[in-house]
């Protein structure tokens, strides 16, 4: 899945520069998500560690018909039914550790004011937020702030259990220390704790296995390994344990299917119902050809108010880029916002034709692109608690050629904006002009970049004939290069007069606001997410660092971007926005060439040169300046709760929406109601 995070996909933006949506007319056209009395709604009920917990609202749910509400409810329940899968995919001991923690928290009646208990609760929150014991973004394992002796005492007093190996995983720092390792020197597979491969399998064995089963010159290739774990059989040979109703994760998948079958009965139209039936068949069998059929049907099912993302889709957690992490996002269309923003999708061919990429790397016919702004009704798995703000699917290039769907999660974006204050902008904006521009145009700028990134960026370009997929040719660099490609499309076109002509923005000030934010983020702000001494590992961060540092270096001769030192603080000032746009276009051409030709060495050189290393002095400064603001760099969400209303015979007559405000309570409730998998799978 192609995801766009807040901070972008901007995972560290924190909506820098987002102003009041009502501050200017263009902004209000994309923001119809607020509901209720905002003064009474606590958007940010809790912060812990480096995270803030946010709540979001569901405007428009009350306007749905009863069958539409049922459809939303059934899809949300199906998504939550698969929640355990994400924990197990992230690390083989995660479920055992979570079950042990939840048992202790639910049953311990001793002193809860001591520091070690408070540290245990903090650790539990970290585990819930990350769906495991490794940080959701950095992939580094976090260690408990309580002793192993204290934990053993709690287990004895409550009857909780944990295997010796899982216990060691909690407390031994260097045991499976990195969930996803992208350093080839450490071994991409052996060095990663993620549970897509048996622990003793090597990268060379993975490559050999997939090379042996791949059908060459298949015009409609399956997404090999997307829904399976690669294990070593008794004969020593590798084989796949397929995720399916009668295979791996079967108990959770059967529960998902139960709710999806209910969803079919209230589908809004025949294409939507047919797509759901194909999804059920795929989950029953694990057949990846059926997954392809489903994706085609789902892409074409564009009518109706309700949609969803469900399955094993996002491959960023796999160091080899094969296996998809489980996730669900259930959506209600925001029609007013979607109608206006769909203008981007309707002009997809113009953007492709006018891209800076080489003619042989352009699509001759861009078809089937759809773009909607949606209201999220529920999320699960890899999309929760930490969520993207935009998504583009499907992933398979040959299916994307037939059509794709892009969505912007409008109420999620709105909730982020409500929860964040102006502190980061005040601290890091170079001058009053930049700050004023961000306050007036920053919100719209971020949304336009999201739209261009998802709708045009991921749907653009093509591979040269005979070139294998990027995950095969570009390997561990394919994800940051793909995100850079989509980002660069958005950056290049957000300053194009065509956007004014289409009525999407009122002037190039919107593009300037986005350039200001992007350079600050890539050069400085995203470093808030790294511990001192660390290099950049996460794909989206590598993307942003690569783009920002490349244009900064290439623009030095013309002073396109100046590094300014003032009062002991560093700022970045863009002195020529048009020259910067030209540099974005130049880099876009090169990244598309690398992708289209499968040029591994050039891709590796680009990312390693500009996207991995960190300026220690700048990093220390950013951490010091940010610490004083007390704004956590990561955000995640408490989901609303949809509650059925029934009559005396048990028939559902309506639904009410509740907005929980306690993260711990929701996680414990999910653990009680949606635990379908054992400790070991």
C-alpha pair distances (Å), 666 with each of 105, 608, 640, 662: 13, 41, 10, 6
Instruction: Output the pTM of the full model.
Output: 0.82
Please check the confidence at residue 244 and state whether its pLDDT lies above 50.
Answer: yes
pLDDT on residue 11: 32
Three-state secondary structure call for residue 309: strand
DSSP code for 218: -
Residue 342: pLDDT band (50, 70, 90) is: confident
Torsion from C-alpha of 286, 288, 290, 295, nearest 10 degrees: 120
User: Distance between CA 24 and CA 27 in Å, rounded?
Assistant: 6
User: Distance between CA 347 and CA 45 in Å, rounded?
Assistant: 41
Which of these, 667, 672, 541, lies nearest to 613 by C-alpha position? 541
Percent with pLDDT over 90 in the chain: 82
Strand order of the sheet with strand 2-5? 2-5, 388-393, 404-409, 369-381, 325-333, 306-314
DSSP code for 272: H
Buried/exposed 275-293: b ≥16 CB within 10 Å, e otherwise? bbbbbbebbbbbbbebbbb
User: Distance between CA 472 and CA 677 in Å, rounded?
Assistant: 32
pLDDT on residue 76: 98
User: What residues pair up with 573 in beta bridges, in sequence order?
Assistant: 562
Please check the confidence at residue 110 and state whether its pLDDT lies above 50.
Answer: yes
**Are 356 and 492 spatial neighbours (Cβ–Cβ below 8 Å)?**
yes
Torsion from C-alpha of 318, 324, 326, 329, nearest 10 degrees: 120
Weakest-pLDDT range from 286-300, 525-539, 584-598: 525-539
pLDDT on residue 239: 97
Three-state secondary structure call for residue 232: strand
User: Distance between CA 541 and CA 548 in Å, rounded?
Assistant: 11
Q: What are phi and psi of 334, to 5 degrees?
A: -95, 95
Q: Max CA-CA distance within the chain?
A: 77
pLDDT on residue 340: 72
DSSP code for 557: G
Please check the confidence at residue 25 and state whether its pLDDT lies above 70.
Answer: no
User: Distance between CA 94 and CA 326 in Å, rounded?
Assistant: 15
User: Distance between CA 204 and CA 662 in Å, rounded?
Assistant: 46
CB atoms within 10 A of CB 160: 20
Three-state secondary structure call for residue 649: coil
Percent with pLDDT over 70 in the chain: 94
pLDDT on residue 38: 47
pLDDT on residue 293: 98
Q: Beta 641-646 vs 238-242: how paired, if at all?
A: unpaired
User: Distance between CA 422 and CA 426 in Å, rounded?
Assistant: 6
- Four-residue CA torsion sign, 464, 467, 472, 473: negative
pLDDT on residue 421: 66
Q: What does the pLDDT average to over 622-649? A: 93
User: Distance between CA 275 and CA 277 in Å, rounded?
Assistant: 5
- Four-residue CA torsion sign, 660, 664, 667, 673: negative
Please check the confidence at residue 40 and state whether its pLDDT lies above 90.
Answer: no
User: What residues pair up with 408 in beta bridges, in sequence order?
Assistant: 373, 390
How many helical (H) and strand (E) elements, i.e. helices and strands, does the chain have?
26, 15
CB atoms within 10 A of CB 115: 10
pLDDT on residue 8: 31
Set out the domains of the chain in order of their start, with CATH numbers: 2-10+44-67+248-421+442-630 (3.30.540.30), 92-178 (no CATH)
Q: What does the pLDDT average to over 491-499? A: 97
pLDDT on residue 3: 53
Weakest-pLDDT range from 136-145, 201-210, 363-372: 363-372
User: Looking up tokens 């049922």, which residue turns up?
Assistant: 70
User: Looking up tokens 């490609």, which residue turns up?
Assistant: 485
Helix 509-523 × helix 478-493 angle, to 10°? 150
List, in order, residues 6 or more apart from 220 with CB less than 8 Å away: 292, 398
**Are 404 and 298 spatial neighbours (Cβ–Cβ below 8 Å)?**
no
Mean pLDDT of the chain: 91
- Four-residue CA torsion sign, 281, 196, 221, 329: positive
Residue 515 in tokens: 């350039």
Please check the confidence at residue 584 and state whether its pLDDT lies above 90.
Answer: yes
pLDDT on residue 322: 96
**Are 48 and 59 spatial neighbours (Cβ–Cβ below 8 Å)?**
no
Q: What are phi and psi of 306, to 5 degrees?
A: -115, 140
pLDDT on residue 206: 97
Q: What is the pLDDT of residues 71-92, one digit of tens each?
A: 999 999 999 999 999 999 999 9
Residue 629: pLDDT band (50, 70, 90) is: confident
pLDDT on residue 18: 29
Q: What is the pLDDT of residues 111-142, one digit of tens each?
A: 999 999 999 999 999 999 999 999 998 899 99
User: Distance between CA 263 and CA 513 in Å, rounded?
Assistant: 43
Weakest-pLDDT range from 16-20, 36-40, 306-310, 531-535: 16-20
List, in order, residues 6 or more apart from 651 with CB less than 8 Å away: none
Which of these, 79, 561, 651, lies nearest to 308 by C-alpha position? 79
User: Distance between CA 209 and CA 267 in Å, rounded?
Assistant: 40
Q: What does the pLDDT average to over 554-566? A: 95
User: Looking up tokens 């071994």, which residue turns up?
Assistant: 187
Residue 629 in tokens: 């603001």
DSSP H/E element including 552: helix 539-554
Residue 6: pLDDT band (50, 70, 90) is: very low
**Are 59 and 34 spatial neighbours (Cβ–Cβ below 8 Å)?**
yes
SS3 track for 512-547: HHHHHHHHHHHHCHHHHHCCCCCCCCCHHHHHHHHH
List, in order, residues 6 or more apart from 567 with CB less than 8 Å away: none
DSSP H/E element including 609: helix 600-610
pLDDT on residue 39: 59
Residue 640 in tokens: 């609303």
Q: Beta 369-381 vs 325-333: how paired, if at all?
A: antiparallel
User: Distance between CA 629 and CA 86 in Å, rounded?
Assistant: 33
Please check the confidence at residue 12 and state whether its pLDDT lies above 60.
Answer: no
pLDDT on residue 15: 30
Weakest-pLDDT range from 38-42, 194-198, 225-229, 644-648: 38-42
């Amino acid at each position: 899945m192609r995801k766009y995070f807040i901070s972008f996909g901007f995972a560290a933006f924190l909506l820098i520069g987002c102003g009041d949506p009502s501050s200017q007319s263009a902004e209000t056209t994309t923001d119809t998500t607020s509901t209720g009395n905002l003064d009474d709604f606590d958007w940010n009920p809790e912060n812990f560690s480096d995270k803030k917990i946010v709540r979001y609202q569901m405007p428009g749910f009350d306007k749905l018909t009863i069958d539409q509400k049922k459809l939303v409810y059934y899809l949300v329940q199906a998504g939550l039914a698969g929640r355990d899968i994400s924990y197990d995919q992230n690390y083989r001991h995660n479920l055992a550790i979570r079950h042990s923690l939840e048992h202790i928290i639910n049953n311990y009646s001793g002193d809860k004011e001591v520091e070690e208990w408070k540290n245990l609760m903090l650790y539990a929150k970290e585990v819930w937020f990350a769906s495991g014991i490794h940080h959701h973004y950095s992939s580094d394992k976090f260690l408990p702030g309580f002793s192993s002796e204290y934990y053993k005492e709690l287990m004895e007093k409550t009857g909780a259990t944990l295997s010796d190996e899982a216990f060691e995983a909690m407390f031994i720092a260097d045991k499976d220390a990195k969930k996803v390792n992208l350093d080839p020197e450490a071994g991409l597979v052996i060095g990663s704790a993620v549970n897509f491969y048996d622990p003793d399998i090597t990268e060379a064995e993975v490559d050999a296995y997939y090379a042996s089963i791949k059908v060459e010159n298949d015009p409609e290739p399956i997404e090999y390994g997307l829904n399976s774990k690669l294990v070593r059989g008794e004969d020593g040979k590798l084989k796949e344990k397929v995720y399916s109703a009668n295979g791996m994760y079967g108990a959770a998948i059967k529960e998902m299917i139960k709710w999806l079958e209910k969803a079919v009965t209230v589908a809004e139209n025949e294409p939507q119902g047919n797509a759901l039936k194909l999804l059920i068949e795929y989950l029953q069998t694990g057949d990846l050809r059926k997954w392809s059929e489903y994706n085609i049907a789902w892409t074409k099912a564009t009518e109706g108010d309700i949609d969803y993302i469900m399955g094993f889709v996002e491959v960023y957690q796999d160091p080899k880029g094969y296996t998809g992490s489980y996730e669900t996002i259930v959506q209600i269309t925001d029609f007013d916002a979607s109608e206006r923003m769909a203008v981007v999708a309707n002009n997809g061919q113009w953007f492709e034709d006018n891209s800076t990429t080489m003619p042989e790397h352009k699509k001759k016919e861009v078809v089937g692109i759809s773009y909607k702004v949606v209201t999220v009704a529920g999320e699960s798995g890899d999309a929760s608690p930490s969520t993207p703000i935009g998504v583009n699917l499907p992933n398979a290039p040959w299916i994307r050629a037939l059509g794709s769907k892009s969505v912007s999660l409008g109420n999620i974006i709105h909730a982020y904006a409500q929860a964040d204050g102006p502190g980061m902008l005040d601290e890091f904006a170079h001058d009053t002009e930049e700050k004023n521009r961000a306050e007036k145009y920053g919100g719209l700028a971020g949304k336009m970049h999201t739209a261009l990134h998802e709708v045009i960026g991921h749907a653009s370009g093509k591979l040269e004939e005979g070139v294998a997929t990027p995950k095969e040719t570009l390997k561990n660099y394919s994800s940051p290069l793909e995100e850079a490609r989509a980002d660069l499309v958005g950056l290049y076109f957000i300053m194009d007069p065509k956007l004014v002509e289409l009525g999407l923005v009122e002037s190039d000030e919107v593009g300037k606001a986005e350039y200001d934010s992007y350079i600050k983020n890539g050069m400085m702000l995203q470093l808030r997410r790294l511990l001192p001494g660390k290099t950049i590992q996460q794909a989206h961060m590598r993307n942003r660092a690569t783009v920002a540092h490349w244009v900064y270096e290439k623009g030095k001769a013309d002073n396109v971007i100046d590094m300014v030192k003032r009062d002991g603080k560093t700022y970045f000032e863009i002195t020529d926005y048009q020259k910067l746009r030209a540099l974005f276009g130049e880099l876009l051409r090169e990244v598309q060439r690398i992708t289209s030709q499968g040029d591994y060495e050039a891709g590796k050189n680009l990312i390693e040169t500009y996207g991995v290393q960190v300026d220690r002095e700048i990093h220390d400064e950013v951490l010091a300046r940010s610490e004083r603001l007390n704004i956590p760099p990561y955000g995640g969400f408490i989901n609303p709760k949809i509650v059925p209303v029934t009559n005396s015979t048990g028939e559902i007559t309506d639904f009410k929406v509740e907005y929980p405000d306690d993260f711990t309570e929701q996680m414990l409730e999910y653990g009680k109601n949606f635990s379908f998998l054992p400790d070991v799978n």
